[in-house]
Amino acid sequence: MNGVPINYYLYLAAVLFSMGMFGVLVRRNALVVFMSIELMLNAANLTFLAYARQRASDIGHVSAFFVIAVAAAEAAIGLAIVIAVFRNRGTLNIEEIRTLKH
C-alpha cells in the first residue's frame, strides 16, 4: 500500500460527516440543510472508496455509485419539495415548517 494511508481518508470523511451533520441539525435554511446532507453522503462515499482501495475490492466502488445515484434522485425530489414549500409558505425557515406534527 503506497501513497496516503487510509487513516487520513477516514479522518477527512469523519470531519466532512460531522460538518454535514452539524449543518443538518443547526442551520435553518432548508437549502443549506440539503447541501449538508450532500456533504454527509459524500463523506460516506469517501469512506466506501477508501476501504475499497485498501481491500482492493470492487464492492465499495459499486456502493459509491449507488450512493451517487441515490443522492442525485434525492436532490431532484428534495429540491422540488423545497420549491413547492417555498411557493406555498413563502419561506424556507425550517423552524416555521412544523407540519410533521399533524
**Residues that contact other proteins, how many (by CB under 8 A):** 13
**How far is Cα 5 from Cα 58, in angstroms, rounded to an integer?**
19
2, 7, 25, 90: residue in contact with other proteins (rule CB under 8 A): 25
26 lies in the binding site for other proteins (CB under 8 A): yes
Nearer Cβ to other proteins (21/67): 21
Q: CA of 19: how far to CAs of 4, 10, 12, 24, in Å? A: 22, 14, 11, 9
Q: What distance in Å separates the CA atoms of residue 71 and residue 92, rounded to the nearest whole number?
A: 21
Does 10 participate in binding other proteins (rule CB under 8 A)?
Answer: no
- Interface with other proteins, residue 1, by CB under 8 A: no
* Three cell numbers written together for 66: 449507488
Residues contributing to the site for other proteins (CB under 8 A): 21, 24-26, 33, 94-95, 97-102
